[in-house]
Structure 1
Amino acid sequence: MAAATQQMSSLPSGLRICTTAPDIFYLPELVFGGLVWILVASTYVSPANPQGWVMFVSVFCFVMTFLWLVIFACGGHKNSSAWATADFIYHLIAVVFYLSASVILAFTTIILSGSPTIFKYYQIDIAAVVFSHIATLLYFIHCILSAVRWKSF
C-alpha cells in the first residue's frame, strides 16, 4: 500500500503539475510551440515541403502537449508506471520532431536570407527559428526529467 501511495505522489495531478518538475515545463512548451506555429503560419512559404513539416511538428506537439496537460491536470493517469513511461516516450518523440523541424527551419531561413525583397518574412523566420530552438530545449529538459522520474519507479 505504501508503494502505491508513493507512485501516485510521483505523478502529480491538479494544480500540482504547475509546481513540480518536469511538469512545470508544459506551459512554456505550449507558449513557445504556439509562437512557432503562429510565426511559421504568417510567413511566405517558399519551399512548401520543409515548412509543411515544421507546421506539422508545431501543431502536433502543441495539440498533444495540451492534451497531455489536461490529462495530468484532471488526474486521468491512474496507472502511474505506464503514464510515466508514456510521458517519457512522448517527450522523446517531441524532441526528435522539434530538433528536425528546427534544423529544417534554420536551413530554410538561411536560404531566404539572400532575397532582400522578402526581408520582413526573413525576420519572422528568424524569430521562428529562435523560438523553435527554445521549444526543442524545453522538450529536451522535460524528456530528461521524465526519464529520471520513469527510472525511479
Structure 2
Amino acid sequence: MAAATAQPMGSLPSGVSVCTTLPDIFYLPELIFGGLVWILIASTKVFPPNPLGWVMFVSVFCFVMTFLWLVLFICGVHQNSPGWAAADWAYHVIAAFFYLSAAVLLAFITLVNKNIDLKIYQEDISAVVFAYIATLLYFVHAILSAVRWKSF
C-alpha cells in the first residue's frame, strides 16, 4: 500500500506529499532549527565589534526563502519541471554554504566572548549547535535534491 503512494525520485511533489517525501521532508526541520538560530541570535546582546549581522541575515534569509519554497511546492507551482529540481538543488547548496559560514563565524564569536556573561554564552552555544544542525539539514537536502534532479 505504501509503495503505491510513494513519490518517484524523479518527480517533484505537490500538496501535502511535500511533507512525506525525500528530500522535501527536511523543509520543516530546516524551518525549526533556522528559526531557533534566528530567535537565539535576536535575543543576545550585540557588542559593537560583534559581527552577528551576517548570522542574523543568513538565519532570516534562509527561514523566509525556505518557507516560500515550501509554499511554492505545496501549491504545485513547479509543474514537475527539471528546472525547478535544479533550482531546488541550487537553493539548498547556497543555503548550506551560508549556514556553514554563519555557524563558523558564530562559533568564533562565542569563543571570543565566553567570559562576558554566562547566560549569553549559553544562548550563543545553543545557537552554534542549532546553526550546525541547520547546516547539516540543508546539506543533506542539497544532496538528495541533486539525486532527484539527476534522475529527471
Q: TM-score under structure 2 normalisation?
A: 0.91
Q: Please list the CA deviations of residues 50-90 of structure 1 after superposition, one character each: whole Å capped at 9, or x if unmatched.
A: 20000000000000000000000010102511100000000
Q: Distance in 2 between matches of 1:49 and 1:57?
A: 15
Q: C-alpha root-mean-square deviation of aligned residues, in Å?
A: 1.7
Identity of matched residues, %: 71
Q: Distance in 1 between matches of 2:88 and 2:34?
A: 18
Name the residue aligned to 1:139: 138
Q: Distance in 2 between matches of 1:70 and 1:127?
A: 28
Q: Please list the CA deviations of residues 26-53 of structure 1 after superposition, one character each: whole Å capped at 9, or x if unmatched.
A: 0000000000000000001125552000
Paired residue type of 1:76 = V
- Secondary structure in 1 aligned to 2:41? helix
2:18 is aligned with 1:20: no
Paired residue total? 146
Quick check: 1:109–1:122 contact (8 Å CA) kept in 2?
yes
Name the residue aligned to 2:127: 128
Paired residue type of 2:99 = Y
Most deviating of 25-34 and 9-18: 9-18
Shift of 1:114: 2.5
Quick check: 2:10–2:148 contact (8 Å CA) kept in 1?
no
Q: Distance in 1 between matches of 2:30 and 2:9?
A: 24
- Secondary structure in 2 aligned to 1:20? coil
Higher helix share: 1
Quick check: 2:11–2:80 contact (8 Å CA) kept in 1?
no
Name the residue aligned to 2:114: 113
Name the residue aligned to 1:41: 42
User: Taking structure 1 as reference, are residues 24 and 48 closer, same or farther at Cα in structure 2, changes over 3 Å only?
Assistant: farther
Q: Distance in 1 between matches of 2:80 and 2:13?
A: 12
Q: TM-score under structure 1 normalisation?
A: 0.91
Paired residue type of 2:136 = L
